[in-house]
Amino acid sequence: MKAFVTLTMSFFLFSSIALGRSSKVEVIYGEDNRRDVYDSSDSILVELARSTAAMISPANLRIGATEVMISAATLQSRGICASERFSRQISAANCSGFLVSPTLLVTAGHCIQNEAECAANRWVFDYRVNSEDQGTVNVPRTSVYSCKRIISRALDEVSKEDFAVIELDRRVMDRAPLAFRREGRVTPGTALAVIGHPTGLPTKIADGATVRELQDTFFVANLDTYGGNSGSAVFNQRTGEVEGILVRGENDYVSDPVQGCQVSNRCAIGDCRGEDVSSITTISALKHLR
């Protein structure tokens, strides 16, 4: 995940501390394809979203007898223009992740850098809304997990590897692990979708993207993603398998001098730097999973 640029001080502090440590985030390419889960017409992606999770600080979680209330400031209160989509929704997630076995979750390596950070955060499934302006989100207590330990992690400036595999504090029994590519490589032009938490928002599904080019340990795509999407599962839309992990990209917000706030950075489909996705086949710790 990456720190936002040209933001108001309050939003800058949020983005650089809560939403990551790297220098760049993401952007909208062409049409904004982000959709809330309830607003998606793709039943396969809706089901896959159940196995994606948000990394959230315990400070944003109020534990009840049977439910956990998630609360946080809205995008608008953090300096994003009211005209922006989802500006009235809360922004509670720091990173995204996804389930690959009943006890293992994958995210970006820069999201969890050590065991202390592993223990300090919670992984929350079902962080989603039922209407565009929903202010708080309640999830069952059973949807909230802790990080027990880091199984494998890489964050390498040379190789550009950026991933983490963590063990959760207990087995996930009520949703299926995601299928992922085990050999070979995705090809340029392949249709992609991403599921995660752009700018810390409740779960968003964004399709309509394609692979632009391949590098040694990652590929580049025109995904509509932001800070908070780091660690998101990037899916092959034909197979439904995870191809990789969203890790880097273009700057996501720019100043609007007329409105005096931040708006999404927008690029044509083939322009700007693209979004980098760590290939899931580079994670040796997953090769034993069946």
**3-state SS, residue 60:** helix
What distance in Å separates the CA atoms of residue 4 and residue 87, rounded to the nearest whole number?
Answer: 16
Give the residue-averaged pLDDT of 238-243.
Answer: 97
Asked, for residue 146, whether it belongs to a domain, the answer is: yes
pLDDT tens digits for range 255-289: 889 999 988 887 777 777 789 999 999 999 998 88
In a domain, 61, yes or no: yes
Residue type at 244? G
Residue 52, domain member (yes or no): yes
* 27 pLDDT tier (thresholds 50, 70, 90): low
Say whether pLDDT at 5 is over 80: no
Residue 266 is part of a domain; what is its CATH number? 2.40.10.120
Contact between 128 and 196 under an 8 Å Cβ cutoff? The reply is no
4 part of a folded domain: no
Instruction: Report H helices in the chain.
Output: 9-13, 43-49, 115-120
How many Å apart are CA 218 and CA 221, to the nearest integer? Answer: 10
* pLDDT at residue 256, as a whole number: 86
Mean pLDDT of 6-21: 34
Contact call for residues 201 and 84 (beta carbons, < 8 A):
no
pLDDT digits (tens, 9 = 90+) for 130-161: 998 888 899 999 999 999 999 999 999 999 99
- Statement: residue 9 has pLDDT above 60: no
- The per-residue pLDDT for 18 is 38
Q: How many domains does the chain have?
A: 1
CB 223 within 8 A of CB 233: no
Average pLDDT over residues 217-243: 95
- Asked whether residue 224 carries a pLDDT value surpassing 90, the answer given is no
Tell me what the pLDDT averaged over the chain comes to: 89
pLDDT at residue 43 is higher than 90: yes
Whether residue 65 is contained in a domain is answered as yes
Does residue 1 lie within any of the structural domains?
A: no
Residue 3 within any structural domain of the chain: no
The yes-or-no verdict on residue 21 having pLDDT over 80 is no
pLDDT at 1 > cutoff 90: no
Range in 28-32, 79-83, 257-261 the model is least confident about? 28-32
Q: Could you give the CA distance from residue 119 to residue 148 in angstroms, rounded to a whole number?
A: 7
Residue 2 above 50 pLDDT? Answer: no
Domain assignment present for residue 101? The answer is yes
Domain that holds residue 58: 9-286
